[in-house]
Amino acid sequence: MLVVTGCGYRVVAPVRELPQGLVSVQVPVFANQTSEPGAEAFFTQALRENYLRAGRLGGEDAPGRIEGVLLSVSSFPLVASPGRLPNYRFLASAQLKLVKNGVLVNAVTVSGGEDYPAGADVLSSETNRGAALRRLAETLMREGAERLATGW
């Protein structure tokens, strides 16, 4: 039950519109200021997929650009019941800046967490960890895209 209640999910509508009359945006690879190698790829891909599903992802000629910086990623064990494998929690934060023709339109910082269970061995633990990081990236980038669009 802890995994479900502590996951950090929020209900956020998909991006439908962009501010300032933007029709599409490009999303270059995020900068990674964390010690989690490759984590920027999860967050970049999650944001790109969000705009792709909305029909708003553009190429290099798009007038809008979302610059992302992965600010923090950490994981730690949660208290385990005796005789049970522990659960872990990922925490992450990212900054997104929407720029139109070189001018800042909006900037937001999103943060959240995602729980995941330990596996019976190292391989299954790492599989669970990677899946949790992907889920966290999807959740945070969905929220970030909506907040960029609405100015919230």
Give the domain CATH number at 132: 3.30.160.150
Percent of the chain with pLDDT over 70: 89
Would residue 13 count as lying in a domain? no
User: Residue 72 phi/psi, 5° resolution?
Assistant: -155, 145
Tokens of 85: 């494998």
pLDDT band at residue 14, thresholds of 50, 70 and 90? low
Would residue 67 count as lying in a domain? yes
CA–chain centroid gap for 16, Å, is 18
Question: Is pLDDT above 50 for 5?
Answer: no
Domain count, the chain: 1
Closest by CA position to 111, among listed 127, 96, 97, 98 = 96
Question: Is pLDDT above 70 for 15?
Answer: no
